[in-house]
Structure 1
């Protein structure tokens, strides 16, 4: 390590120690300071690690957490960025915090924002890239899905020997030739049945001839066993397969991957994909099934991923939503609930959320109008837009309350008529709500992602 890198590392670690000792936050600031001293500091910090990068629209955080849980059953040194700081400065801060044991294999499993991937791979050379999915999300930042995919393909190409482990059920991941070798994971749990995706689904045009794709099996959105009847474009052979889905509830799932049975302690089809991706990583590194099983079964909810917070006797499940596909999967998951529940929907439109809120009109809020929900609260900085969307969806006005104040939202939750409450929230609203709940003693932490 050169003198410049040494100074950068010292500045970053010193600021990190100060922030952790005297404040409650600052996950990215040490990285910013270190980068100012040495823009190439990441190259030095990461050089002894086997780096696994997780990127894509939805599922990055839970896939990363599950992968870390599994690899920790096998390896002692597994570094990750649990605060969710998934841009360049946050990745630098993650490596600055490392305290690895000497002379042992070191892993870094990193969640990286799609738009930041190419910047990060200027300095680190991952061994494995995990591509979860590409859906329309934050159009102001990413553009259309093919633009987003090109971003991550270009980022991966800077480490051409690294393997791309992609969701084989997503047509976009088979749409381009890559310099990187590829492996695929996916679902193979149902008999073939001719079908087509819902008419309001993105990404169902064949990337080779632009005809509409057909399916022999669909899990959700445009994911499944696709093929083009016009030119023969088809889903690639799967290297890692989910072959049986024996049970799925609003809080858990049981399934079989490559002849081994597993149980996941969060609900929803979309989260099974996250577990499948993490299992594929583990199999890639030859981790034994019993260790995979223990890692997947670890019942620790991560930031905004079905966290349960008790507010004066109300069991509140906090779920992050940020785009139509993710929202619809959450709505489907909620629909599996065996009990009555109330609903809170919080909408912000800051830069980190995406400033374009038109996506709420593609979400299937209409499903809630056919569910017996006794009370709905619309809140957040864009509470008026959220209220209008819920009214158009068919939520009766006498069941709907609107407020911008999160303090008032918390007070209203205490008065709800059901024991169970689902809180659907965009990213910055989750941060704000968690801080309020932490300040009031309902949960530990707050602004930081865990």
Structure 2
């Protein structure tokens, strides 16, 4: 280790100690300090680690959490970035704070922002990349889905020996020929029938001949058993697959992977994909199927802002991050599986971490919500007027609706809602702000871990 690296790492660890113990933070700033002193420090910190990079638009955080649970059934030294701080500085902080035993295989399972894959791979040579999906998201940062994938490919091409573990139901992941060994996972849970995706869906053009793709099975958006009617482009053979989906509620999903039963204690079809990705990584590391299933079946899957349940007086408040049309639609579909009355708050911010363009809220199908079972709806956040107008257009009854900008007053309004269960859909910085307000009132601990 060079003198520059030693000084940088010491400074980063000291700043983390102070921030973590006195300010209940420290997910990104220690990494920034370390990188300022040694921009190449990741090369030193990641030495002796076998690295898995998990990236994509939706599902990175839960896929990472589930993958870590699976790998820890067999390995003692599994490092990760659990707070979801997935840019370069957050990943440096994860390495700075790693606790490891003196022996064993060292693994680093890193949730990585799509635009940061190349920045990380420049210094770290991963053994595997896990690709969840690519949907239109934060147009100001990523552009269209093809430019997002190009950013990821810039990183993958630096590690041609790394195994790609990709969602085979996403046509974009089969659109470029790469030298990497590739494992595909996906859904084979229904009978084949001829169908097409909705006309406003992204990513439906065949990369070979530009024809519109057709489907034999369609899970949501552009994901499914696709094929081109005019050339030989089609979904690749799957190594691992969801073979049945038996029951879904807002809090559980019961399904089968490779014929083995799973009960995931979190709702949403999109989270079944996340569990399938974690299963695929586990099998890649030769973990026994029974151990993987035990990890997936345990009851602590909920992580920061992803169906996190917080008790506020007599309410059960489920906090769910939303950030793009496809993710929002999947959350709205999940809410429809709740047969009991519930209240709803939607909190919209438009800071850099959220994406400054809020037009995506118009592509989310709020109109499909069962408003007859939702006696109270609230629009809040820094852009509360935008989301309030969207909800009014969707058909929220005026007598059931209120608007609050300040998140402290949002919290007070939630306490007065008429149902026991309240769903709060919020963009990233709104999640942070609401959790801070909750922490100030003693409902949760400060910080994100």
Task: State if a TM-score over 0.5 links the two structures.
Answer: yes
For residues 411 and 22 of structure 1, the distance between their equivalents in structure 2, rounded to whole angstroms, comes to 28
Aligned residue number for residue 166 of structure 2 = 166
Which residue in 2 is equivalent to 1:387? Answer: 388
Contact 1:369 1:393 in 2 (8 A): no
Equivalent residue, structure 2, for 1:323: 324
SS in structure 2 of the partner of residue 184 of structure 1: strand
TM-superposed deviation, 1:33: 1.5
Corresponding residue for residue 401 of structure 2? 400
Distance in structure 2 (CA, Å) of the matches to 1:21 and 1:216: 54
Corresponding position of 2:29: 29
Range with greater deviation from structure 2 (428-437 or 414-423): 414-423
Aligned residue in 2 for 1:414 = 415
Distance 1:46 1:369 in 2: 49
Q: Does 1:428 align with 2:429?
A: yes
Range with greater deviation from structure 2 (244-253 or 66-75): 244-253
SS in 1 for 2:276: helix
Give, in angstroms, the shift of residue 369 of structure 1.
5.7
After superposition, the C-alpha distances for 1:173-193 in whole angstroms (9 at most, x for unaligned) are 011112322110001111111
8 Å contact from structure 2 (residues 50, 106) kept in 1 = yes
TM norm structure 2: 0.98
Whole-angstrom CA distance in 2 between matches of 1:149 and 1:109: 20
- CA shift, 1:338, in A, is 2.1
Deviations 1:2-36 (A, max 9, x none): 22222221121122222223221121111111112
Q: Distance in 2 between matches of 1:47 and 1:184?
A: 29
The Cα shift of 1:371 comes to 4.0
Q: Which runs of 5+ in 2 are unaligned?
A: none
Deviations 1:405-449 (A, max 9, x none): 11111111111111111101010000000010011011123xx33
Q: Does the alignment pair 1:180 with 2:184? A: no
SS of corresponding position for 2:369: helix
Distance in 1 between residues matched to 2:171 and 2:115, nearest whole Å: 20
Runs of 4+ in 1 over 6 A off after TM superposition: none
**Shift in Å at residue 372 of structure 1?**
2.6
2:209 matched residue in structure 1 = 209
Instruction: Point out the more displaced range, 415-424 or 15-24.
Output: 15-24
Mapped contact 2:336–2:370 kept (Cα < 8 A): no
Structure 2 residue 386 is the aligned partner of structure 1 residue 377: no
Matches within 5 A, 1:438-449: 438-445=439-446, 448-449=447-448
CA shift, 1:299, in A, is: 2.0
Aligned partners of 1:160 and 1:197: how far apart in 2?
A: 33
Q: What is aligned with 2:142?
A: 142
Pair 213,371 (structure 1): closer, same or farther in 2 beyond 3 Å: farther
* Aligned twin of 1:339: 340
Q: Distance in 2 between matches of 1:12 and 1:133?
A: 33
**Matched residues, number:** 448
Map 1:225-304; keep pairs closer than 5 Å. 225-300=225-300, 301-304=302-305
Per-residue CA deviations over 1:135-169 (Å, capped at 9, x if unaligned) read: 00000000000000011011111111001110000
Shift of 1:370: 5.0
Structure 1 position 313 matched with structure 2 position 344: no
> What do residues 260-312 of structure 1 show as CA deviations (whole Å, max 9, x unaligned)?
22111000100000000000000000111221122112322101111111112
Query: C-alpha distance in 2, partners of 1:50/1:298?
Result: 26
Contact kept in structure 2, 1:153 and 1:178, CA below 8 Å: no
**More divergent stretch after superposition (286-295 vs 19-28):** 19-28
Of 262-271 and 27-36, the range deviating more from structure 2: 27-36
User: Helix, strand or coil for the counterpart of 1:237?
Assistant: coil
Alignment partner of 2:274: what SS? helix
